[in-house]
Amino acid sequence: MRDEQLDYHTPFEILAEKEDEQLIANALSQLSFRRRRAFILKVVHGKTLQKIGEELGVSRERARQIISKATRLMRCFIIHTEIV
């Protein structure tokens, strides 16, 4: 019974989740291929900065910088979109 209650979502919650997914997809689409790839490798796949750097052909530090910039750009896009 308890598990069933945890899995239940109201229509409003489902709609809000879909809107969040769309907002994230739109933010990702605004990134360059390299920034998007680095961000996804880190956040979705949990790769280390070293592995991301190797895949992108850059140093670990440069991979960190690329991911940091991607994160800032996504945050700005999402904040701006939510305000408008």
Q: What residue spans define the domains of the chain?
A: 2-83
Class for the domain spanning 2-83: mainly alpha
Residue type at 42 in one-letter notation: K
As averages over each run of 10 residues, the pLDDT of the chain (84 residues) reads 62 85 93 97 97 98 98 92 68
Q: Are 68 and 25 in contact (CB under 8 A)?
A: no
Q: Output the pTM of the full model.
A: 0.77
Q: What would the two tokens of residue 51 be?
A: 């592995």
Nearest alpha carbon to residue 35 among 60, 64, 78, 75 = 64
**CA–CA gap between residue 49 and residue 63 (Å, rounded):** 6
Please tell me the predicted confidence (pLDDT) of residue 84: 55
Please tell me the predicted confidence (pLDDT) of residue 7: 67
Please tell me the predicted confidence (pLDDT) of residue 5: 53
Contacts 24+ apart (CB under 8 A), 54-57: none
